[in-house]
């Protein structure tokens, strides 16, 4: 909700003179009725009234005071926000502190001239969007990508939200910053994607974040390069036996396609992970599964997101650095360098020009984007059947975690010694409370009876990762028992994201109404440790996180206002972003905030030292005999990530080591040139690569592109000719049926919308088995083609099963054939 300007509230004349120091002093007091302490006490602003009362999280005596005395204005002593009971709205005062006392030496401090301190105009109940955008823009890894790697922000997908976001970030962080920015273009793009955000109703800030980040990923995602494997090169004479993975089970998806020894090593690692989680002998009966891309939903449940899994296999080879040469001028030639001992040799499969016959089974594509690089983590969860002891394990990707806020009984259970012991034995989150003794627990429990539950962010994490008993209406469907059984679910973090987004579940939505949990959750500004929630076989090195920004919601479930507190990366000071207003605040003010969404970043002093070391190498100005090219995206990771990972130049190189023809025109946006001493240091520290000191357009890729275009044209021309003849045939003897789902994939390929040809023809979804004979399923999504067209497509793609309809033979068959007229409509446009 937008704040009301001072001229909109007729009750401001009743406000007495008050200073920030007086409000801070009152914040250390108690409710004058129930004696409860802060945070979130409210002080009456009526002239001469000293009343201080509690808010909604307790007995709400501040509201009672207003109703009894008709004192309309009150200020939150934690956030310094002003509320008018008579108007039912928030009131925007001068820096929300009221006029300053003429006897006070306190003066409003001017904002320093640092970038990133620009407000966002509220354009109609858009505080939820403004708070989310400010919190997201103060995440350095993401913001620096849009600022430093602007040339990589390319998309042909509507509404090109990444372009709008890039422009917004550029305006917010420009040196000559305006006082505020109007985010109209981005808001229009969001409304075009999701109708929920149309109109001027208040929306949920976390849902807006999810929608924005999903769309940015979709527009910026790039396909990950497939492993260099000669057995998967696409040739005309491939035999069917070369690719027989049609029935690959889910467990195999966790194992890289390597030799049997490596597979056994991976399986042993999998068994160790399950043993760590459950304490059950894995050799008894274990089922490991993976899902496409499950995401932790805003309700705390697991849901599958419709994008491919963003898991990048590590590069296991390290090419040798080339022998230095003198006087390299950065430019791109049209030919590759000749093979030399200093350059890694190309795979023989890449030296030959491959033809584009389709693979027998279409591989699942894997993608990555700056969003997945920054926010993606992995949770490994296991479910144990308490009847047969069978354990199933699932790897689940997440970009945010929705944490419950435990109540008194939940806290008592989490802190109890018995529960801690069971959790530690079960491999869950008991380690989070292992250092805490009985004395500290009893003291906190006694305090909770007087001042309400003392909930920490660690409590919320512990509640999320605690073992979950599956019983009653939530029983586990055991695949071995083939029945609903009682079970136990455990989960841990397998990989940690660079930035951890935590959503506190403050809102409960029932059929007729919604409620809000106003319990104060304390959270650390530095040193959030995720080690207790990490799987024992996790390769994560950095487990400590520091707070970047926090989105806060003030008010009720039906009427409230969003703001954001963000730590400026330039001066490390905290600021409150309240629509157009930007105000410096203390750390105490941030910690007393009613957090809703928190952004934490990995903290690694070694990464900071490494950046200083590389900066020193740059400043040495040492004469370099050779210049090396490195990915601009990876260099941005090095500058902003705690763990940048191995050097990856795959975003500007093809599998053959050259520049893909479609990227040659903007290669300068993709690479940065480094002197030899800097490259040698980075390469020895991080590995990866490959080393590149010569850019050339890949002739192999160019040839493949030309052959692909030729193939597309040949297939399209032949189909049009055959289908035209079929349409002119008055009474065909036999009509062949084809799945429209497969046909659309083929159509997308020949029209150039998809670079990969479709897999084999799959008619399984349009057939039904009747008395041992395959017939066309009633109402199936199928089309009709001639025998010649079927033979033509089948000769290229294979597949089946063969399904024909003979007109005038059977009344039922005639009805089925007459209902399938879509192929003519679909293909005439071709």
**Alpha-carbon distances of 512 from 292, 508, 509, 515, rounded to whole Å:** 35, 11, 8, 10
Tokens read off for 160: 């090109």
**799-800 and 761-762 beta bridge pairing:** parallel
On whether the CB atoms of residues 786 and 792 are closer than 8 A, the answer is no
**CA 608 – CA 626 distance, rounded (Å):** 27
Q: Hey, how many other C-beta atoms are within 10 angstroms of the C-beta on 679?
A: 24
On whether the CB atoms of residues 362 and 259 are closer than 8 A, the answer is no
Tokens read off for 821: 């007229």
Residue 486 pairs in a beta bridge with none
- CA dihedral 24→29→32→38, nearest 10 degrees, is 90
In this structure, what DSSP letter does residue 138 have?
A: T
**CA 76 – CA 528 distance, rounded (Å):** 27
Residue tagged 């308490």 (tokens)? 386
**Alpha-carbon distances of 710 from 237, 707, 764, 806, rounded to whole Å:** 19, 5, 30, 35
**CA 727 – CA 720 distance, rounded (Å):** 10
Provide DSSP, 528-580. EE-GGGB-TT------EEEEEEEEEEEE-SSSEEEEEEEE-TTT--EEEEETT
Q: Hey, how many other C-beta atoms are within 10 angstroms of the C-beta on 570?
A: 11
How far from chain centre, in Å, is Cα 6?
40
In this structure, what DSSP letter does residue 445 have?
A: H
Provide DSSP, 745-798. HHHHHHTTS-SSPP-SEE-GGGEEEETTEEEEPTT-SEEEE-HHHHHHHHHHH-
- What DSSP element (H or E) covers 746? helix 740-750
**CA 197 – CA 208 distance, rounded (Å):** 8
Residues that are catalytic: 127, 561
What are the two backbone dihedrals, phi and then psi, of residue 749, each rounded to the nearest 5 degrees?
-70, -50
Q: Hey, how many other C-beta atoms are within 10 angstroms of the C-beta on 364?
A: 10
Q: Which residues contact 214 (CB under 8 A, 6 or more apart)?
A: 305
On whether the CB atoms of residues 647 and 684 are closer than 8 A, the answer is no
- Residue 800, SS3 per DSSP: strand
On whether the CB atoms of residues 777 and 768 are closer than 8 A, the answer is yes
Q: Where are the alpha helices (DSSP H) in 221-249?
A: none
**CA 86 – CA 66 distance, rounded (Å):** 9
**CA 596 – CA 504 distance, rounded (Å):** 5
- Residue 796, SS3 per DSSP: helix
Provide DSSP, 635-696. HHHHHH-S---SEE-TTT--TTSSB-GGGGGGGGGTEEEEEHHHHHHHHHHH-EE---S-EE
Q: Where are the alpha helices (DSSP H) in 138-195?
A: 140-148, 161-172, 184-193
Which is nearest to 369 in space by CA: 213, 525, 243?
213
Tokens read off for 806: 């003979």
**89-91 and 82-84 beta bridge pairing:** antiparallel
Which is nearest to 416 in space by CA: 300, 457, 424?
424
């Amino acid at each position: 909700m937008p704040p009301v300007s001072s001229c909109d509230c007729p009750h401001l004349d009743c406000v007495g003179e008050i200073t920030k120091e007086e409000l801070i002093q009152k914040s250390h007091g108690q409710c004058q009725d129930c004696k409860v302490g802060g945070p979130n006490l409210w002080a009456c602003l009526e002239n001469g009234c000293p009343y201080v009362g509690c808010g909604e999280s307790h007995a709400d005596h501040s509201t009672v005071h207003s109703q009894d005395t008709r004192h309309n204005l009150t200020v939150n002593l934690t956030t310094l926000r002003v509320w008018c009971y008579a108007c039912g709205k928030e009131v925007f005062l001068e820096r929300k502190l009221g006029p300053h006392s003429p006897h006070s030496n306190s003066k409003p401090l001017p904002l320093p001239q640092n970038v990133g301190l620009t407000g966002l105009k509220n354009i109609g109940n858009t505080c939820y969007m403004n708070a989310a955008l400010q919190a997201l823009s103060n995440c350095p890894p993401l913001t620096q990508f849009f600022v430093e790697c602007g040339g990589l922000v390319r998309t042909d997908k509507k509404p090109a939200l990444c372009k709008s976001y890039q422009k917004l970030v550029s305006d917010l962080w420009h040196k000559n910053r305006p006082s505020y920015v109007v985010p109209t273009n981005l808001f229009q793009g969001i409304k075009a994607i999701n109708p929920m955000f149309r109109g001027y109703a208040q929306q949920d800030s976390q849902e807006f974040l999810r929608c924005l980040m999903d769309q940015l990923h979709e527009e910026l995602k790039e396909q990950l390069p497939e492993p260099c494997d000669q057995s998967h090169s696409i040739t005309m004479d491939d035999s069917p036996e070369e690719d027989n993975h049609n029935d690959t089970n889910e467990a195999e998806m966790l194992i890289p396609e390597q030799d049997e020894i490596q597979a056994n090593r991976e399986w042993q690692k999998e068994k160790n992970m399950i043993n760590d989680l459950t304490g059950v002998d894995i050799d008894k009966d274990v089922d490991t599964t993976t899902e496409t891309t499950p995401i932790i939903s805003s309700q705390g449940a697991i849901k599958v997101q419709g994008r491919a899994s963003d898991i990048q296999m590590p590069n296991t080879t390290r090419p040798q650095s080339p022998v230095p040469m003198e006087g390299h001028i950065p430019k791109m030639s049209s030919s590759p360098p000749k093979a030399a001992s200093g350059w890694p040799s190309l795979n023989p499969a890449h030296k030959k020009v491959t033809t584009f016959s389709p693979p027998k089974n279409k591989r699942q594509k894997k993608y990555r984007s700056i969003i997945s690089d920054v926010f993606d983590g992995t949770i490994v969860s296991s479910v144990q059947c308490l009847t047969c002891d069978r354990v199933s394990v699932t790897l689940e990707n997440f970009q945010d975690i929705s944490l419950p806020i435990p109540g008194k009984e939940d806290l008592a259970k989490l802190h109890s010694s018995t529960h801690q012991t069971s959790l530690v034995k079960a491999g869950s989150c008991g380690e989070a409370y292992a250092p805490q003794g009985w004395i500290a627990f009893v003291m906190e429990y006694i305090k909770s009876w007087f001042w309400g539950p003392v909930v920490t962010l660690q409590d919320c994490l512990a509640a999320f990762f605690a073992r979950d008993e599956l019983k009653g209406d939530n029983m586990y469907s055991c695949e071995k028992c083939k029945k609903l059984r009682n079970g136990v679910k455990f989960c841990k973090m397998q990989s940690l994201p660079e930035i951890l987004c935590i959503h506190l579940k403050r809102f409960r939505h029932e059929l007729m109404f919604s409620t809000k949990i106003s319990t104060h959750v304390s959270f650390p500004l530095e040193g959030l440790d995720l080690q207790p929630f990490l799987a024992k076989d996790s390769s994560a090195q950095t487990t400590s996180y520091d707070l970047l920004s926090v989105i806060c919601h003030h008010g009720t479930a039906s009427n409230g206002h969003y703001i954001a507190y963000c730590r400026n990366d330039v001066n490390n000071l905290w600021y409150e972003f309240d629509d157009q207003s930007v105000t410096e605040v203390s750390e105490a003010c941030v910690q007393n905030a009613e957090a809703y969404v928190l952004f934490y970043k990995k903290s690694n002093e070694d990464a900071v030292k490494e950046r200083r070391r590389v900066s020193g190498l740059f400043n040495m100005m040492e004469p370099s005999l050779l210049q090396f090219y490195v990915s601009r995206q990876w260099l941005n990771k090095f500058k902003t990530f705690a763990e940048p990972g191995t050097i990856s130049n795959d975003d500007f190189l093809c599998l053959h080591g050259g520049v893909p023809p479609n990227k040659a025109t903007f290669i300068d946006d993709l690479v940065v040139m480094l002197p030899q001493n800097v490259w040698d240091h980075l390469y020895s520290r991080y590995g990866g690569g490959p080393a590149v000191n010569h850019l050339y357009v890949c002739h192999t890729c160019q040839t493949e592109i030309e052959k692909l275009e030729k193939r597309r044209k040949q297939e399209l021309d032949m189909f049009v000719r055959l289908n035209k003849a079929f349409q002119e045939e008055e009474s065909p003897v036999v009509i062949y049926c084809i799945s429209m789902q497969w046909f659309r994939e083929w159509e997308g390929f020949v029209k150039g919308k998809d670079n990969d040809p479709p897999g084999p023809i799959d008619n399984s979804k349009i057939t039904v088995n009747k008395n041992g004979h395959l017939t066309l399923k009633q109402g199936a999504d199928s089309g009709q083609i001639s025998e010649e067209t079927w033979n033509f497509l089948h000769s290229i793609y294979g597949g089946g099963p063969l399904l024909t309809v003979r007109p005038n033979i059977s009344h039922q068959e005639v009805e089925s054939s007459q209902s399938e007229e879509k192929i003519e409509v679909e293909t005439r446009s071709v």
